[in-house]
Amino acid sequence: MSWQATLWAVLARDLRLARRAGGGWAQGAVFFLLFILLAAFAIGPETGLQSLIAPALVWLAAALASQLSLGQLFNGDMEDGSLDILTAAGASLSAVAIGKSLAHWLTSFAPITLLSPLAAIMLGAKPEVLVPLFLSLLIGGPGFVLLGAIGAALAAGRHGGGLLVMLLSGPLLAPPIIFGAGAIKAGVLDSPDLKFLLASTLFALVFSPIICAAALRAHME
């Protein structure tokens, strides 16, 4: 199988599985909204304080929600032998990693990105931060998932993999969160922080599939 054929085949299959799973795809969005609601109650009605920390809270909630189901990203395919079959057919494991990460972003993080302006309004954010917030999550979201996929590949097949994924990928998420919060604070669409955020996502796009493929290959040997 060619690299492109593998990517599209894995993407299409994972999207079908997510659709058949019912509401499982919405877990991240539900967690995201619950986090925002609890944060709004905890902060209280002090509008000045809310408007200052709302973008950072939205980014933190999105980062945590993006990692919720990553612990199972590769486990199912390892347990049912799908990865062995794909490898035997000559499929690239890096293409498998990209396809599964893209499917996870579409089913889990894209809804969070769409809900982010509403979440910011719930926390009392100023209207002028909504567009930079949405754009920063649109750019940084794929990086979250790709970096989390590294932890998922390293922890694949291990008990307690969800917690291990958080421990492995958590430090990697710090730069996107810092750059994303900085882009929102700058309030302009061509800020240096937004460019650094894009660079971190491109960095993850290049290195995540390589590391994931190496980790999965090691698990299969």
pLDDT digits (tens, 9 = 90+) for 72-93: 788 878 878 888 888 888 888 9
pLDDT of residue 220: 78
Gap between the Cα atoms of 31 and 40, Å rounded: 14
Name the more confident of 163 and 202. Answer: 202
Whole-number average pLDDT of the chain: 83
Cα angle, residue 216 at apex, residues 151 and 161 outer, rounded to 5°: 40
Query: Cβ-count burial of 144 within 10 angstroms (0-12 exposed, 13-18 middle, 19+ buried)?
Result: buried
Cβ neighbours of residue 51 closer than 8 Å, sequence gap 6 or more: 124, 125, 126
Query: Looking at residues 116-136, what average pLDDT do you find?
Result: 86
Please state the rounded mean pLDDT for residues 10-24. 78
Angle (CA) 65-142-51 rounded to 5° is 55
Residue 100 predicted with pLDDT over 80: yes
pTM: 0.86
pLDDT for position 24: 56
User: For residue 188, is it left (φ>0), alpha (ψ between -120 and 50) or beta?
Assistant: beta
